[in-house]
Chain A
């Protein structure tokens, strides 16, 4: 008998089957459903009412407010009120103003390897970093899940993406993802299962792995999986998830794969992606030296504790270029508190950065803060679509938190490796 992939194993278990085959359509039971303030209560409650049903299992639903936090518009504030009311009426776990859903969910111990999880947000593949089959859906489909506890999916092929050797100093998970978007394109994932593997991946911290899984969305994959290992279980233990080690949660050596790509991590340079697509990736040394107004470190993709630490290591002892605005929106309150304790937030404050709420902020572009016309921004977020973060004439370059920090100092796109000599040992 040939082996199976991690994706097949999780789906088979959730479908109550011995085995599933790529291409077949199956109905699976959902272990956990995550919703946020935008696609959540305001959209699903009218549908549940129309159907005349309640939640299939309130203990398996987690609600997190992040898109309209801090409620800086009248409608946004009203949506947040509605969200809070719903949480108490429906009796679900609710994390309000604690940070961005994809970061808060694992941080608070809700995720475990092997789970089948549905999230009401496109960056839901982030949960794949923990070996959970987690994918994003829209609000109507989420309402269906909340009503029935079930969802259909087409069993995916696995696109194995292997990074051998080790990343060089100044190069991080975000650079891997921008390079992959450039190489494979925004539809390279074909809505199949991407799985990351190799020595470079094994060496990454959980939050760095989350960046890889998060941007499986930008590859157009349904999920971005990483088989759980000692690093995963150490993180989940500390988060109080109660996860139990399961050595079978991995892709068998003889499993048949849709694609297998191998890249050498040691050869990867820091990347930037030109407006208006993450697929416009290039090595930082090949980027034009255009001047910039705004440096943004934010989002689930690029402002977790590790991201903040990496950016601060570049910024320490430097000041911002004249006319430069540096905005920092830490992904979660807990990550910001830790960064504060370790002196990281002080580095940002001393550099003159403006600290924004622990929320989706300018990345989602749902609130009052938006990029002005003709502005030029370098951002640690995942998407630089035209008009997403502000005016359609604004230009957004994507990069790692280190490259964003280096560019904030230089006033133009800059190579973080030029600032590494100042980096302190963490």
Chain B
């Protein structure tokens, strides 16, 4: 079962992908992801877990390693009250679902959950929470697995 990792407002890109590791590869960056706010995050998060946060998740830099690190660690989706614009685009482009939810305040850390991407519904311990739908143009990107596979498909279609 997927678990919730709960964070507050304004989780920034320096927390997600610390600058001092930016010259290294994604394995190194991911190992230090969020360590300044939650030192055990990288070691305890598992494939399929979900990050739930407050307002303005991903504030700051355009470095897409901020989203890539979460994906690398197996995070299945980030749900937040709001996202910083560039982080939001980066996440979708890398195939990491970023979903806005206005009724997630009560969601607690460690809770078991299930996320339905089709219907944008998060079920936390038997309670279903409706999230905002992913915009249509971005749903297409996510379905293809991100921008690169999407473009590959588009280029292949243009050739045939």
Contacts and interface: CB of A to CB of B under 8 A. Distances in A.
Interface of A: 25, 38-39, 43, 47, 50-53, 67-68, 73, 75-76, 79, 120-122, 124, 136-141, 143-144, 147-148, 152, 186-187, 191, 220, 222, 277, 364-366, 370, 383, 385-388, 392
Contact of B14 (A141, A187, A385): A385
23 contacts: A25-B137, A51-B148, A53-B155, A75-B23, A76-B23, A121-B62, A122-B60, A138-B67, A138-B86, A139-B64, A140-B90, A141-B64, A144-B151, A147-B151, A186-B56, A222-B85, A366-B20, A385-B15, A386-B15, A386-B36, A386-B37, A387-B18, A392-B36
Given A50-B152, A141-B147, A364-B19, A385 B12 contact: yes
B35 to A, nearest CB: 9
A138 B83 CA distance: 15
Contacts of B135: 25
Nearest to B10: A186
A68 B60 CA distance: 18
Contact of A141 (B19, B22, B23, B90): B90
B36 to A, nearest CB: 5
A388 B19 contact: yes
B85 to A, nearest CB: 3
Interface string B87-129: 0111001100000000000000000000000000000000000
A152 B94 contact: no
Nearest to A190: B82
A46 to B, nearest CB: 10
Interface in B26-79: 36-37, 55-56, 59-64, 67
Contact of A138 (B12, B55, B89, B152): B89
A187 B84 contact: yes
Given A138-B93, A387-B36, A370 B148 contact: no
A370 B22 CA distance: 14
A387 B148 contact: no
Contacts of B86: 122, 136-138
B59 A386 contact: no
Given A385-B14, A386-B14, A52 B62 contact: no
A76 B24 CA distance: 9
Contacts of B24: 75
A186 B24 CA distance: 29
Contacts of A52: 155
Given A365-B20, A366-B20, A140 B62 contact: no
B155 A51 contact: yes
Given A137-B89, A141-B93, A187 B82 contact: yes
